[in-house]
Chain A
Amino acid sequence: MSNIDRRTLVKGSLAAMMAGAAFSRSAFAQSAEPILLGVSGPLTGPNAQYGTQWKQGFDLALDEITAAGGINGRKLAYQFEDSQSDPRQSVAIAQKFVSDPRIVLELGDFSSPASMAASPIYQRGGLVQFGFTNSHPDFTKGGDFMWSTSVSQADEQPLLAAYAVKRLGLKKLAVLHLNTDWGRTSRDYFVKAAKEYGAEVAVTEGYIAEERDFRSTLVRVRDANPDGLILISYYSDGALIARQARQVGLKQTICAASSVYSPKFLELGGEAVEAVHLGTRYFPEDPRPEVKKFIAGFKAKYGGQEPDAFNAYSYDAMNMAAAVVKIGGTDRRAIRDAFAKVKDVSSVIFGSATFDVESRRVKGAMNAELVVRKGQFALWDGKPT
């Protein structure tokens, strides 16, 4: 019990205290143990920011699920174990979850080394590893207990390429990418699609996640003489590159992958990210009801803070987990089978999500073409920048 998300516990006990009059009801709540999900992710270490973002998305989704009556009357809760994105710790956590009969489903981990090192244990232990940010093409090949709602880069990158090449009319591109499994895979899909659409890729540069200084890289970019810069980056490094590009006098159009979609990108980039184009899965004024509900709920819960891409991934993942548990109950194998059965789950990222049973991934992410205007993300109106 001790590790169940503290917030839930505190809330639960507060609620119990206040509902002192309704004694019989609180006694009932105590007898019904929540259905427990395991989360393995970074809360400390270099990727800690992503773990905290996950929590925000999870907690929002859980509030809504509880408000809607939980899972057939039972509450849903999660136990978050900090792995620091370290494979040594994620394998230990995997054994912990596998041998804990209360855990019905596992979510995470964040990085590929940590997630995929744990996969054999989940597979052999018969516990679903639901890696909702695992874009590594081999992740779901780990076995039939590996499922992912991470947007496949084979889907996303052609959309970005179409935006850059067909819509914005860029002909000669420079691609800067994070030199991780995600960035590398994305780059390859992007370059392939961009070439198909008739653009030339003049230069590609991979950089490590800790990199801060891009001025020399940008000289290489300048010398290749592109008419557009493509950033396959997260928001913090994306903002750094945009700033430095403007500082060294590069005025080309910048087009970025959806992972920069975060209020932090605007905050960190300042004026330099003005007129940056990006493809995203949803946007603030999105008329879709699930997006409206997500953004309104998120702002209400977190003091007006705008949600970002990782909040949306984890929010969707928790809703998906709830939908799966609703069908599969609390039996681990039945839950695995439920992933194949679950249909049209309302999703911020996919609109409605249904798994492709063959690849154990979800296809057909939503797409919105945005641009930064006056320090805000706005739907691109087709005007050149």
Chain B
Amino acid sequence: MSSWLDYTINGLIVGNVYALVAVGLALIFGVSRLINFAQGSIYLVGAYIGWVAVVQLHTPLPLTIIVVAAAAAVVGLIIERFGLRPLQNSVRIAPLLATIGISFVLDQLVMLTFSPNPRALPSQLPDVRFQLGGGTIGPLDLLIAGVGITSALLLFVFLRYSKLGWAVRAASQDRDAAMQMGVDVNRVNQAVFGIAAALGGVSGMLVGMYYNQIDTAMSLQATLKGVVAEVVGGAGNVPGAVIGSLLLGLVESYGVAVFGTSYRNLFAFLLLVVVLVLRPNGLFASARQAPPEPLTGTFIAPSRPVRIPRWALAVAAAGFAILPFFPVSFYVLQTLINAWLLGMLALSLTLVAGTMGQVSLGHAALLAIGAYTSALLSLTLSVPVGLAVIGGGLVSAALGTLLISPSFRLRGHYVSIATLAIGEIVSLVILNWESVTRGPIGISGIPPLSLFGYDLISPTSIYWFSFAVMVVLALLQGRLLGSHLGRSFRAIRDDDIAARAYGLSLNRYKSLAFIFGGFAAGVSGGIAAHLYSYINHETFNTQQSILALTVVILGGLGNVVGAIVGSVALVGLPEVFRIAAEYRILIYGIVLLLLVRFRPQGLLGTI
């Protein structure tokens, strides 16, 4: 029985750590309805500034905290002023993408300045331990809890009783009305970003001291767990974020207790999905709260798409089709193969996210399902590879739609978070379901692509094959968009209430979109599996999902040609920047930011 007490204490201790990030995220979401994916990067920056202060400058702890908070607040203000404020009047999805770009840039800058090697960040508190249950806690645990709870309380009081706090709340409820009442919305945003960043920076430093370890990989993990905790507690609800974090810590700890360590994150993400499905506004959202999400129509920009004449498309397609006859290197062909495979994924996502308005952040899961299905069909059941790939597409369509269906009633950001969680769940199931997926060992010796008994192993033949599959899928999707189905999809995206009033069944159309999208993504994953010959649970990771979303937004949401152009650009750019070696991801992040800044509707525009 005493073990359960220990599991409870441990859950609360780690929940305490999550709360620090979640509070900052909740604050920003509360005001700007934005999930700040750069919060983890500010956390990272704070940890390294703390390292400089402690190890190089030998500052005492109170001074360290002030230095870190001030420096991180400056970073937050810079992000707000130059990264987000210019996007104020742009599409709602643009700031989301901008925060992803900013997080790339910040992470890379830290990595380039401090090298990716982990560093020790010694705690400056006396090393005394207090017995609690079977284990001990130290002064840092108390300090972290103190900072988390105090900041949540202070923020709560600030929002409720101070004049600026009222302005913040007014701006979050109705920006235009607040402006009419004379609220300086920019100042409000500045205040919020400054506070959230200061908090993020201090939390990065404290967590670094807690583990005596900081490294550049801590940013994404912090963001992921923080987002989960924040949404569980009710997005935008600051005290809720603290309770959500503690709950997350407890669920993880009990999950470890019952099933073992490798199931830990599975429980974290299952908790998120369950909460989203049962109480989409989070556990602690009050009933009278205004709907936290605008209608999807304002989430995705209406814009005039660039019309490309058909003959030009045909010429471009023919050009790519005959490319291998010219003296191009296999390296170029291989890069384009990657672009075509990413293109299929982007087609899938542009349909689901752009045309249907369900912005998915877990699309790599569909790749993984297709890849594993195709690999296992061909290896264990000796299904011919061509059929196995189609099987991968079908299973991915069916399973993907089934998994996403509980979250059909969600909107806007919540769809993204639910799909993010589902993506993580799929990857963790692959890791743990060893009897089928072979767990972390992965599947090796997957046979190469073949069609009607002919092996496709030369880069040229794989190039043609993947290009042809992508073109067929693109044509099908173009046809789909031109039909009444496409019009219904867009109607639901632009105004689901009106669409429902016209008698459109939302769930049925959403299912149709996911079935088609799941097929395209599954085929892409299947081809990749046979191309690589080896896959494991890490092959199709969260970065892939984020890349796919970037492609889709870059090309223009819902835009079929845009998805392909975007894929070529985003596979090509990092290759072009190879000369820049360590700097290439930094350059890529900056290019992404500039694109969002100057062309938020995407290169070819939303359809």
Which A residues are within 8 Å of any B CB, using their own CB?
Answer: 2-3, 6, 43-46, 48-49, 51-53, 80-82, 84, 86-89, 91-92, 94-96, 98-100, 111-113, 116-117, 119-121, 124-125, 136, 138, 141-142, 176, 179-181, 183-185, 205-208, 210-217, 219-220, 222-223, 236, 239-240, 243, 247-249, 264, 267-270
Contacts and interface: CB of A to CB of B under 8 A. Distances in A.
Contact of B338 (A88, A184, A269): A88
Interface in B256-275: 256-257, 260-262, 264-265
B118 A138 contact: no
B330 A82 contact: no
Q: Which of B3, B252, B448 has the most CB of A within 10 A?
A: B3
Contact of A184 (B118, B439, B444, B538): B439
Contact of A268 (B136, B213, B531, B533): B213
A116 B446 CA distance: 11
Given A236-B213, A248-B136, A91 B334 contact: yes
Nearest to A308: B117
B136 A49 contact: no
A208 B262 contact: yes
A80 B584 CA distance: 13
B117 A181 contact: no
Contacts of B116: 48-49, 51-52
A236 B212 CA distance: 10
A48 B211 CA distance: 20
B444 A92 contact: no
Interface string B333-362: 111001001100000000000000000000
Contacts of A210: 217, 221
Interface stretch (B7-15, B145-153, B195-203): B7-15
B129 A247 contact: yes
A174 to B, nearest CB: 11
B108 interface: yes
Contact of A211 (B213, B264, B338, B444): B264
A44 B584 contact: yes
A95 B330 contact: yes
Contact of B138 (A219, A220, A247): A247
Q: Which of B138, B536, B543 has the most CB of A within 10 A?
A: B536
B581 A82 contact: yes
A276 B7 CA distance: 26
Contacts of A236: 118, 213, 215
27 contacts: A2-B579, A48-B116, A48-B216, A81-B578, A87-B532, A88-B571, A91-B532, A95-B331, A96-B329, A99-B329, A113-B534, A113-B536, A116-B532, A116-B533, A117-B535, A117-B539, A120-B531, A141-B444, A141-B445, A179-B439, A184-B439, A184-B440, A212-B211, A212-B213, A219-B10, A236-B213, A268-B213
B442 interface: yes
A215 B217 contact: no
A207 B261 contact: yes
A269 B212 CA distance: 8
B215 A49 contact: yes
A6 B579 CA distance: 10
B118 A268 contact: yes
The 5 closest A-B pairs by CB, nearest first: A117-B532, A116-B534, A248-B135, A48-B116, A95-B334
B545 interface: no
B534 A48 contact: no
Contacts of A138: 444-445, 534
A87 B533 contact: no
A372 to B, nearest CB: 15
Interface string B398-432: 00000000000000000000000000000000010
Contact of A213 (B14, B115, B578): B14
Contacts of B213: 212, 236, 239-240, 268
A91 B531 contact: yes
B111 A48 contact: yes
Interface string B1-31: 0010011001101100100000000000000
Interface in B235-269: 252-253, 256-257, 260-262, 264-265
Contact of A205 (B252, B261, B342, B538): B261
Contacts of A185: 441
A238 B569 CA distance: 40
Nearest to B448: A120
A53 B111 CA distance: 14
A112 B537 CA distance: 11
Contacts of A179: 262, 431, 439-440
Given A138-B445, A141-B445, A240-B213, 8 more contacts: A51-B116, A111-B538, A116-B533, A117-B534, A207-B261, A210-B221, A216-B11, A243-B212
